Structures are given as C-alpha cells and as structure tokens.
C-alpha cells in the first residue's frame, strides 16, 4: 500500500512539474494589445531646395510631435533551450497623428502616418521551465517604415508650406530592449506582459508645389523626428 501511495505521489508530482513547462523545443503564439508611447522630439523644419537650387533655410521654433497609438498584434516564438527563446513580433500598423509644436502648435494636427515595425527578439527566461511565473529579458532588432504619410491640415499646407505637399519618410533599423514575464494558466495557456524601448528616429521629407510671386516652384524641406517609443504589450498565449 505504501509503495502504491509513493508511486501515485511521484506521478502526481510529475504532472505538476510538467503542466506549465516552457522548455526546449516548445513552440508558442500570443495575441494581445500594443500601446505605443513615443518619447519624441524633432529638429526645426528646414528648407533644402527651392526651384531645384540648394538652400539651407531653417525655420526656428518649429517642430512636431507624435500622438500615442494602440493596435492589436501577435507573436510566434520557439524555445531553443529551456531558457532562451526566439520570437517574431508583428502588429496591425498603428496610425500616428503628427501634431505641431513651437510656432506650429496653433495648427494642432498637421498630418498622419501608419507605422510598420516587424521585430525579431531573443529572450532569456529566468526560473525553471516548470515555473508558473517566468520573468525574462529580451534584446532584438526591428525594421521600421511608414505608409500613408500625408498632410491633413489644409490651413497649415496653404498658410505655411504655400501649396500641395507630399510626404515621404526614411525606413530604418533599430535595436529593441525588452523586459517582461509570463504566467502559466494551465498546460497550454498563459498570459503575459512586456515593455520595450526602441531608440528610433526618422526623417520626414516634404515636397511642395509652392505658389510664389514668380509662379509655382518646387520646395523641398525636411525635419528629423526622434520617436523613441515605449511599447507595452498585454497578451494571452498558447504553447504547443
């Protein structure tokens, strides 16, 4: 009888220790909500050419800031070892509003754009694979670009830029610094929270068909914007 009880106890313990395992060879997916909070700043707007002739005219006390944004996203990951995992992070491109600062502040919203930023993370998980609560540190890289860039404020477009204006932005690579934790709900399901910091900047280039006393001239201008977003991700996941 004692032997039977001992075997039963060992079997029960084995079930407990394997119920929440995030160990080598485990695949997992998550879905959840991203909140992006730019810690932004910008250089003054600078005209770089007028009618094809190079200039270098900086407009003092001008700039722009980005609004916060929210979007849905998902990740897919794989535990290479019991403690190291790789993870691909994707999200529905969030829309950011571009708001004027300095002497542009009175115009409010100047334009908008959508951000694409697929990310590859390498994570180190602390504690044993069987632990329900597992904190981790992550380091990765993201490729960021924008689409749908446009000036939406006609008063700003006509009063400051003096004509129809198109906008393009640079794409760039940036490191990602990540910290978070997961909490196992049962053998397959878990919940998680993470916070990432991305030192990211882009240059917005404006091309204006400006109405001038000598006719319509093409005016090129630009401003460098530092986004540096803090990204929070609240999620639920499933491991296979």
Token look-up 């129809």 returns: 164
Least Cα distance to 174 among 223, 216, 210, 121 occurs for 121
Torsion of CA 228, 46, 54, 145, to 10 degrees: 30
pLDDT above 80 (res 21): no
Per residue in 211-228, pLDDT (tens digit) is 888 889 999 999 999 999
Instruction: State the DSSP H helix or E strand holding residue 11, giving kind and residue range, or none if neither.
Output: helix 2-18
| Number of residues that this document lists for the chain | 240
Per residue in 108-147, pLDDT (tens digit) is 999 999 999 999 999 999 999 999 999 999 999 999 999 9
Per residue in 74-118, pLDDT (tens digit) is 999 999 999 999 999 999 999 999 999 999 999 999 999 999 999
Residues 6+ apart with CB under 8 A from 71: 33, 34, 36, 91, 92, 93, 94
Highest-confidence range of 51-55, 214-218, 227-231, by mean pLDDT?
227-231
Q: What is the value of pTM for the model shown?
A: 0.86
What is each CA distance from 111 to 13, 90, 149, in whole angstroms?
Answer: 59, 24, 7
**Rounded-to-integer distance, Cα 62 and Cα 103, Å:** 6
**Rounded-to-integer distance, Cα 145 and Cα 104, Å:** 25
Share of the chain above pLDDT 90, in %: 85
Cα four-point dihedral sign 53, 54, 60, 62: positive
């Amino acid at each position: 009888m004692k032997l039977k009880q001992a075997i039963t106890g060992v079997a029960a313990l084995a079930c407990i220790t394997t119920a929440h395992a995030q160990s080598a060879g485990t695949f997992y997916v998550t879905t959840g909500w991203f909140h992006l909070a730019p810690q932004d700043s910008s250089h003054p707007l600078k005209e770089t050419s007028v009618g094809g002739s190079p200039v270098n005219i900086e407009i003092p006390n001008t700039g722009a800031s980005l609004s916060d944004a929210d979007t849905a996203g998902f990740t897919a990951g794989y535990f290479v070892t019991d403690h190291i995992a790789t993870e691909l992070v994707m999200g529905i491109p969030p829309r950011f509003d571009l708001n004027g600062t300095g002497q542009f502040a009175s115009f409010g919203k100047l334009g908008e754009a959508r951000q694409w930023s697929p990310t590859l993370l390498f994570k180190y998980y602390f504690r044993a694979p069987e632990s329900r609560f597992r904190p981790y540190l992550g380091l990765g890289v993201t490729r960021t670009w924008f689409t749908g860039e446009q000036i939406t404020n006609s008063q700003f477009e006509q009063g400051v830029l003096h004509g129809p204006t198109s906008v393009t932005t640079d794409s760039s690579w940036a490191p990602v610094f990540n910290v978070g934790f997961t909490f196992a709900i049962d053998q397959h399901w878990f919940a998680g929270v993470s916070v990432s910091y991305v030192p990211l900047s882009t240059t917005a280039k404006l091309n204006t068909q400006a109405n001038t006393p000598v006719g319509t001239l093409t005016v090129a201008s630009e401003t460098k914007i530092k986004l540096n977003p803090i990204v929070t991700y609240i999620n639920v996941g499933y491991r296979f």
